Chain A
Amino acid sequence: MSMEQLIDKYFRPGRLPHIWCPGCGNGIVTGAIVKAIDKLALEKDSVAVISGIGCSSRASGYLDFNTVHSAHGRALPVATGVKLADPSLNVVVVTGDGDATAIGGNHLIHAARRNIDMTVVLYNNSIYGMTGGQYSPMTPYGSKATTAPYATIEHDFDIAELAKAAGATFVARATTFHTQLLVDLIAKGIQHKGFSIIEAVSACPISFGRQNKLGGPADMMKWQRDHAVMLPAWNKLTEEQRSGKFPIGLLYEVTDRKEYTEAYDELIARAQGGNK
């Protein structure tokens, strides 16, 4: 299917153009999600896309699935309710760096800990875009933001390491430059039985790029190209060579940790069998 046909098939009619700013990477990430879903040939009725609040979270409204644009930070609890109540649904969570790691940070670590089967696509644009450029927990240390006019003195999260430590069983990262990789990782994440998270490094030229003099949309995408390193190559780099760069690819996957809804079905069988 051509990209144009994919858009016609998976986007709700009449909802485009989307609200994102010129050069914003969110459209690329959202496009990658539908490509991944198409690659897996999932029925549209079987997919639930649940988002929080923020730029990225507007994606749910464009997509022709069962969709929830929930409250700020709360996509994961809502998604947990959807998935546990109806495990037959394929649950994809769309969230941003502020939504997922600040106001929704507690929910993120606990959803990961439960290893509940859902796929989180974290659009990381390094900033609160919707409110005009305030620093998030993933704004790189030393960057400027409207609430960090003297540059932020807060260290940023490495969300891959955080998710892994919390119990996520599939952790990956790609960028909006590496679109094919992003599609493949989202598809693999959906196929993975358990909690999967894919950080999609995305550019916010308006609210982050301008304040930090990072050039235009194409420059920010070239920055992704020049600073992201595929994991096998990354593994061969020295600490010094890694400085300023970041790894992309499937960073971590385990399959021996019990998935939550499956464990719950076993619990039901145990309870109904009279065993505590």
Chain B
Amino acid sequence: MSKILLLQGNQAVVEGAIAAGVKFFGGYPITPSTEIAESLAERLPLVGGKFIQMEDEIASMGAIIGASLTGKKVMTATSGPGFSLKQELIGYACAAEIPLVIVNVQRVGPSTGQPTSPSQGDIMQARWGTHGDHWLIAITPASVPECFELTLRAYALSEKYRVPVILLMDEVIGHMREKIELPDNYDEIPQAERKQPDCAPADFKAYAADESLVPPMPPFGNGYRWHVTGLVHDETGFPKGAGSATKAAADRQYHKLYDHLDDIVQVENYCMEDAEYAIVAFGGAARTAYEAVDMARKEGIKAGLLRPITIWPFAENEIQKLAGKVKGILVHELNRGQYVYEVERAAAGKVPVYSYAKYDNEPATPAQLLAEFKKAMAL
């Protein structure tokens, strides 16, 4: 049985979190993500979970790291400035391989910027915001139903790969209300499982991995008594100063994700079968792009949309294929141009790559996007 609701994107994330089995949220108020905290403060106790409003954004990251170590599924939610504050411990979570989900409902920045206006300005911060070499996953919903689905997917990925997953929203999607069909009962939704050791505690090496390259992670308190550190460590989990240890840790953390891009990277192709010209857009900007593609088709232009759902790791293969297929690519994003450079790099000069960057507080209208598209493609 299911129910049909009219929900905001942020509320659909909350439903997704409850359905995924989240039992711990640590957060700090920030527009435009606050509804997620408010709603989970009410919902989590009802399912025996815990909500805590921490003293700052850094602390809320710390709290979810701690809670994840006890085996719980955990979440925090924020926006640009808070996301910056969390970056220190996002690095820690990458190094120590702690599963957790960070929702970033992007707004116009930098700094306080335009707190209630939509933006996709944290694309690069999501990838490179923390220090040092690191690898993580960022996924972006473009509809309210997808906020629910991708929240579930965020946990599936985070638990499977022991990696922080960023649910990269924007204010358009966070605050937009849409119809969504949800199951009445979340009990039947498959729960992401964290791999557990199959050896005795005495033989356990906390960061020894099998061919999946993902080490098992027992919860605190069940006999394995392992050590968690942000220092470079070997497979025992204890600090190791050797250069070979640094390289081994980096290589494993890279390959545990990048050897599985087929599993991790998702894109949506819209009207792409016979497309001669493509728009690349994601999140709130993709909403405009669907419409613009439809309008172009009505004019007889063979336009299509490639929508990255996984933002990081970058959809390298998909963009390369696209570049081999169409005559031109227009990247539309709500910032002054960030993702376009990645697309340009992957396209590697095979086709021209253009940018329609929108950064004036308002999403583009389909007509604006279509006009830019036609201009770029000289149609």
Q: Which chain A residues have a beta carbon within 8 Å of chain B's beta carbons? A: 12, 15, 44-46, 48, 50, 53, 60-61, 64-71, 74, 76-86, 88-89, 106-107, 109-110, 264, 267-268, 270-272
Contacts and interface: CB of A to CB of B under 8 A. Distances in A.
Interface string B3-45: 0000000000000000000011010000000000000001001
Nearest to B238: A61
Contact of B54 (A68, A70, A77, A86): A77
12 contacts: A45-B221, A68-B227, A70-B230, A74-B62, A78-B63, A80-B54, A81-B24, A81-B69, A82-B220, A86-B70, A107-B62, A271-B42
B230 A272 contact: no
B209 to A, nearest CB: 20
Interface of A, secondary structure class, is helix
Contacts of B69: 66, 68, 78, 81-82
A77 B63 contact: yes
A85 B66 contact: yes
Contact of A85 (B23, B42, B59): B23
Contacts of A80: 52, 54, 59, 62-63, 66
A11 to B, nearest CB: 12
B196 to A, nearest CB: 15
Contact of A61 (B24, B54, B227): B227
Contacts of A76: 59, 62
B337 interface: no
Contact of B225 (A44, A84, A109, A267): A44
A106 B62 contact: no
B226 A77 contact: no
Contacts, number: 139
A78 B65 contact: yes
Nearest to B24: A85
Given A44-B225, A61-B239, A74-B89, A81 B46 contact: no
A272 B45 contact: yes
A79 B223 CA distance: 19
Contact of A82 (B45, B70, B92): B70
A71 B219 CA distance: 20
B94 interface: no
Identify which of B45, B61, B66, B221 gathers the most chain A CB atoms within 10 Å of its CB: B66
Given A66-B221, A70-B62, A86-B220, A81 B67 contact: yes
Interface in B288-306: none
Contacts of A53: 230
A84 B24 contact: yes
Given A71-B88, A71-B89, A85-B50, A64 B225 contact: yes
A76 B52 CA distance: 14
B153 interface: no
A107 B89 CA distance: 15
| Top 3 A-B pairs, shortest CB-CB distance | A81-B66, A77-B62, A85-B67
B245 interface: no
Contacts of B219: 86
A62 to B, nearest CB: 9
A88 B221 contact: yes
Nearest to A90: B221
A77 B60 contact: yes
